[in-house]
Structure 1
């Protein structure tokens, strides 16, 4: 319909313009011919006289002529149809009071009359106004327009159906995926241009959904596996307490020291479950966060994380050597990552050896290093240190879920940074995080908190 309407409008406008141009051209041609014929007749009348100039018999078609004598009478060829009476304007031409005159009566059925003064009289040449060429042209344009409109509608319908066929198939495939929840059924890549890009985009979306579903499935399976051990231990200890309490032998079977140790184990298991639940929530959220990105001093984030770590590990000393480095990031997420690094180091560091945290600028990067004096990381475990739920054989007996360092890598990756593992100078593990450094908010603030500023 749009194509047909556009063609109809185009044909109508073209017809109007062409008709106007043709009308002007026909008028100009007819007037030029009248001028030429009147001058020929005037030349003959000037030689022979108005009363004696020969007027051949009217042949039935062609020009009409008339001679106006000085007294106002007229002469016309034999058999010629009567012309309209001499007008007042024509009489003024005969009297010499007006220049040559072209008069036109009604264009549809009247005459065009050209009056040219000769001596004391005048000659007139006229033709019958004929608009048949315009009518024939208009009829032809009408037929052409109708043909073009019909053809345009047919072609437009065909093109629309052909162009929308891939959309229909794409819609049917998308509906099928939505109804069956089968994300493995890729939509056939067909068509071209925008259709192909749309199909590829939907297939990419399905691939992302499949990966997301697979990640959720793996997360659920890993979480179930990690929850099994602390829940089993917790259930056995609680069942033991309930069974002894029912028998009334709780105090005799479990001395005070044993009960205290059992309750301590229960508390540790509950704390481990709480930590695991928190970390599972962090992992399940992925990169979804309502926290906005802002320009922050990473030193403030590290100091805040160290303060929280000291309250959680009162027996482990945390030493800071940090310089002011500005980065663009999410403060809470970065603090969580730094806290996980310090917590991990605190599990391995001996009680008499502090966890050392250093923050410095290295080229265009902000470099954070956390090292401990523990046994270090085996070469076989280095590639998987930041993997989700991965725990080295030597760490299985320690509290933790294997999620802390995976959260660190996810946060660092989201900020365009890098993670690394090396051996500390003290023999333990050296975990490194590099983040793109940013310009400070103002020169004055940068100078006030420059590279020489350290927090111990």
Structure 2
């Protein structure tokens, strides 16, 4: 049963991919040397063959000229042919009638070819040709002499090339072995930083110790790889530290409302079990206690939602789009009024386009308005202003409250930070931290200052974007309007 034609290459590819990088480098080095030696052998063999052939032909021509000169002087039929030395040169005289003369004891040459006969007849001056007999191959040079021709031949000897090839083969094998050893050594030396990097990564994975930076060594790609992994470890350390701080702060902030909620619930349960709930807690006190429970549950719900939003960081499925920030501000102000009817919001906004995530920006603006609403007196509105300022969209939210102390300004946007004056007010200390995160994610900047009314002025600057191209839409009457 025959195998599919493409299976073997795929199997070889899978085998190659399973090899280690050190093995691959060794095989590549040995193969490269073997190919180089083979190509060098082929080129050298061809050059050597041409050189030997050229030398042999030149020698045949020289010997033929000497023999032709002697034959013309003495006559082809009477010239004395040199005795056969036992090897090397062979001679022959072609007489005008086509017969031949050879020295005594000389091995028989191949029959005179038709072309050589034409030289003897004067059709051409000379001829170099190769002939094969039953045992040997000959290189024969025919030269016109008198009324006939003389021939000088040599047995084609491939032994020098064969010996050269054997020598090159042995050298090639030695070079392959040496190349494999060199490749192995180079691979071991070159991959030593990778081995140490792997060991360090395995150690970090096993010990979960992100503080163990990998020593920066080597150069080029290895150094960049080590620096990249160290940067990744640093980012993981920062992420773990941020998670730990978030967990610690969350536990601290959850402790107080949970404790209060648990005590109030335990009080209700204990009074209910004794049957003294109505007598111990008058209707007014019971209503106040239930309202406190509802407020505490609401505070916990708000804190949990803010913790979830903060823990998600910059991860969001919401896509970025070009939007009018004025629409976002108006929507946030509307939500603030619906959540706390007592908040009065005065809007002074102009159309400014930005590139961002609508829901995240609306949440940030809502937090700014909620924060200002907690401090602004009942008869003083929260002022929200939006304008274009150069290449930025500037949003300002100020209140007429007591303002922010200078000592608290550097920590206003920290998570869970609450000034001493704000601890009696509802809130988790996460609202402005979420604002800071959203602004940073949009490439903006959030600052705090004192407003002209004496309260806090929270200022957000975001990079402005070009408004989208106007699109045509149909009005109710069927006319076309441009938006």
2:458 corresponds in structure 1 to 431
Residues of 2 paired with 1:37 and 1:415: CA distance?
Answer: 96
Q: Tell me whether 1:203 sits opposite 2:203 in the alignment.
A: no
* Cα contact 1:388–1:406 (8 A) shared by 2: yes
2:300 corresponds in structure 1 to 273
* Cα contact 1:355–1:370 (8 A) shared by 2: yes
2:9 corresponds in structure 1 to none
Residues of 2 paired with 1:44 and 1:306: CA distance?
Answer: 125
Residues of 2 paired with 1:263 and 1:125: CA distance?
Answer: 130
* Cα contact 2:91–2:153 (8 A) shared by 1: yes
1:169 corresponds in structure 2 to 196
Equivalent of residue 137 in structure 2, options 98, 110, 123: 110
2:111 corresponds in structure 1 to 85
Distance change (3 Å), C-alpha of 1:96 and 1:343: same
Residues of 2 paired with 1:35 and 1:368: CA distance?
Answer: 104
Residues 2-401 of structure 1: matches in 2 within 5 Å?
2-77=28-103, 80-97=106-123, 100-106=126-132, 109-401=136-428
Residues of 1 paired with 2:346 and 2:198: CA distance?
Answer: 61
Equivalent of residue 429 in structure 2, options 398, 402, 405: 402
Residues of 2 paired with 1:190 and 1:303: CA distance?
Answer: 56
**Residues 202-234 of structure 1 deviation map (CA, whole Å, 9 limit, x = unaligned):** 333222222222222211111111112212222
Q: Tell me whether 1:416 sits opposite 2:443 in the alignment.
A: yes
Residues of 1 paired with 2:267 and 2:98: CA distance?
Answer: 145
**Structure 1 residue 302 displacement after superposition:** 1.6
Moved more, 206-215 or 372-381: 206-215
Q: What's the Cα RMSD here? A: 2.3
**Residues 251-305 of structure 1 deviation map (CA, whole Å, 9 limit, x = unaligned):** 4443333333222222211111111001111111112222222222222222222
* Cα contact 2:110–2:131 (8 A) shared by 1: no
Residues of 2 paired with 1:308 and 1:42: CA distance?
Answer: 121
Residues of 1 paired with 2:461 and 2:430: CA distance?
Answer: 20
Q: How many aligned positions are there?
A: 445
**Residues 304-324 of structure 1 deviation map (CA, whole Å, 9 limit, x = unaligned):** 222211111111112222222
**Structure 1 residue 48 displacement after superposition:** 4.2
Partner of 2:268, secondary structure, is helix
**Structure 1 residue 443 displacement after superposition:** 6.2
* Cα contact 1:310–1:316 (8 A) shared by 2: yes
* Cα contact 1:364–1:437 (8 A) shared by 2: yes
Residues of 1 paired with 2:62 and 2:357: CA distance?
Answer: 93
Moved more, 238-247 or 86-95: 238-247
Residues of 1 paired with 2:215 and 2:261: CA distance?
Answer: 52
Partner of 1:105, secondary structure, is strand
**Residues 396-418 of structure 1 deviation map (CA, whole Å, 9 limit, x = unaligned):** 11000101101111111111111
Task: Extract unaligned runs of 5+ from structure 1.
Answer: 446-456
**Residues 358-379 of structure 1 deviation map (CA, whole Å, 9 limit, x = unaligned):** 1111111111111111111111
Residues of 1 paired with 2:103 and 2:292: CA distance?
Answer: 137
* Cα contact 2:249–2:416 (8 A) shared by 1: yes
Residues of 2 paired with 1:364 and 1:36: CA distance?
Answer: 95
2:11 corresponds in structure 1 to none
Residues of 2 paired with 1:314 and 1:146: CA distance?
Answer: 92
**Structure 1 residue 99 displacement after superposition:** 5.9
* Cα contact 1:296–1:331 (8 A) shared by 2: yes
Task: Extract unaligned runs of 5+ from structure 2.
Answer: 1-26, 473-483
Residues of 2 paired with 1:359 and 1:106: CA distance?
Answer: 104
**Structure 1 residue 142 displacement after superposition:** 0.9
**Structure 1 residue 421 displacement after superposition:** 0.6
**Structure 1 residue 437 displacement after superposition:** 1.2
TM-score (norm 1): 0.90
